Every structure is written in C-alpha cells, then in structure tokens.
Amino acid sequence: MYRRIKLIKGDITKVSTEVIVNAANTSLIGTSGVSSDIHKAGGIVIDQQCMDIRRRLGGCKTGEIVVTDAGNLDARYVIHTVGPVWKGGEKRESELLYNCYTNALKESVRLECKKIAFPNISTGIYGYPKKEAAKIALKATEDFLKENKEIEEVLFVSYDEENYEIYDELLKQQNK
Ligand code: APR
C-alpha cells in the first residue's frame, strides 16, 4: 500500500497528475497560499467555475469538497476542499481534516482518476500543527487505500522544508 503513497517537496501547480487538491476556504476565493497559486496557474476557468459553484451552492463547507476543471494545470480536475481552522483541537478539527482527505479520494474514484496530489491542508494560514496534520493526512489515506484498489498514486506535495521532513519521517517509520 505504501508504495502508492509518494512524497515530494515543491509547488503543487508544477506536478503532473489527474487530480490536484486545493486547500480552499468556504467562499472558494483563492487569495493567498496554495489556493492563490492554483487559481493563478490554472487560469480563469477555475475562478469562473468556483464563482458558479458559489452562486449555486453558496460555497463549500469545512471537510467537504467541490470540483472544477484544472484549466492550465497538468491535471484533469481540481478538487477544492476546506480544511479546518486550528482552534486548539476541541472543535472537531481532526475529524474535519480527516474528512478533507477521505472526501477528495472518494471523489477521485468517482471521477475515474487514479492519481491525486495533495498539499498539506490547513498547515498554513489555518494554523494546524504540522505533525498532527501529517498524521491525519496519512491515516486517512491509508484507511482509504486499504479498502480501495482504484487509486494508484497519492502524491503529497510539501512546499516547506518542515512539512517535508515530517512526512518523510512518518513514511520511513511505516516502511520499517
Ligand atoms: N504548492 C504546494 N503547497 C503550497 C504552495 C504551493 N504552491 N503554496 C503554499 N503551500 C503550502 C503551505 O506551505 C502550507 O503548508 O500549503 C499548505 C497550506 O497552506 P495555506 O495555503 O495557507 O492553506 P490553509 O492553511 O489550508 O489555509 C487555507 O489559505 O490558501 C488560502 O484560500 C485559502 O483562505 C484559505 C486558507
């Protein structure tokens, strides 16, 4: 199973995959962080489709997902998910973060995509402790991959060195 999980350090807008996951906010407006990079690199189609979803559905709830095309990105779709804002750990943050990963993976299967790339959701502006967030991301992914054979590659893309080191260490421990 772990061979299906990969880790790289870099910019998620540069990867070649089928689904790129965006760490969005409930209004689906990408003004900073990874979200801004995805909207800029993907182009106007992503902005337009996000606006359309806002008009129809009012946005996206925390832990849930919405889908747009990937525009100029080297992928078929962008799955936008809203991670929890860290409020100390008593506000269902871990459950909501787990749901982000699980819901994105489920949607990828529904879209008949076998490759997906995740950023480190909630670990930027939303302030989730990075090690705890990484453990949840990996647990959700492993739980999903155990039950689902359709997904062939889950790529974790860490932008900052600290996240990269944390994932690298956790994945090494699991491979022992
Ligand atoms: N590629 C991959 N990862 C990136 C990139 C990038 N181009 N840019 C930033 N990151 C990383 C950050 O280092 C961080 O670890 O993405 C992680 C998540 O950071 P944020 O983008 O701040 O996302 P989050 O903490 O979930 O906060 C969501 O920020 O992006 C906006 O619109 C989004 O308002 C929402 C909020």
Which amino acid residue places its CA nearest to atom 18 of ligand 1? Answer: 124
Vertex 50 angle, CA 56 and 157, to 5°: 140
Mind listing the pLDDT tens digit for each residue in 47-94?
999 999 999 999 999 999 999 999 999 999 999 999 999 999 999 999
0.75 exceeded by the pTM? Answer: yes
How many Å lie between the centroid of ligand 1 and the Cα of residue 91? 21
pLDDT at 31: 87
pLDDT at 2: 61
How many Å lie between the centroid of ligand 1 and the Cα of residue 126? 8
Q: Using a 6 Å cutoff on CB, does residue 13 contact ligand 1? A: yes
Q: How many Å apart are CA 176 and CA 168, to the nearest integer?
A: 13
Which amino acid residue places its CA nearest to atom 24 of ligand 1? Answer: 122
Which amino acid residue places its CA nearest to atom 10 of ligand 1? Answer: 34
Q: Using a 6 Å cutoff on CB, does residue 97 contact ligand 1? A: no
Q: Using a 6 Å cutoff on CB, does residue 42 contact ligand 1? A: no
Q: Using a 6 Å cutoff on CB, does residue 163 contact ligand 1? A: yes
Q: 176 pLDDT exceeds 80?
A: no
Mind listing the pLDDT tens digit for each residue in 118-153?
999 999 999 999 999 999 999 999 999 999 999 999
Contacts of 16 (CB under 8 A, 6+ apart): 74, 75
pLDDT at 97: 98
Identify the structural domains of the chain with CATH numbers, from first to last.
2-174 (3.40.220.10)
Atom of ligand 1 nearest to the CA of 160: 13
Looking at every residue in the chain, the average pLDDT score rounds to: 96
Q: Using a 6 Å cutoff on CB, does residue 83 contact ligand 1? A: yes
How many Å lie between the centroid of ligand 1 and the Cα of residue 176? 30
Q: Using a 6 Å cutoff on CB, does residue 144 contact ligand 1? A: no
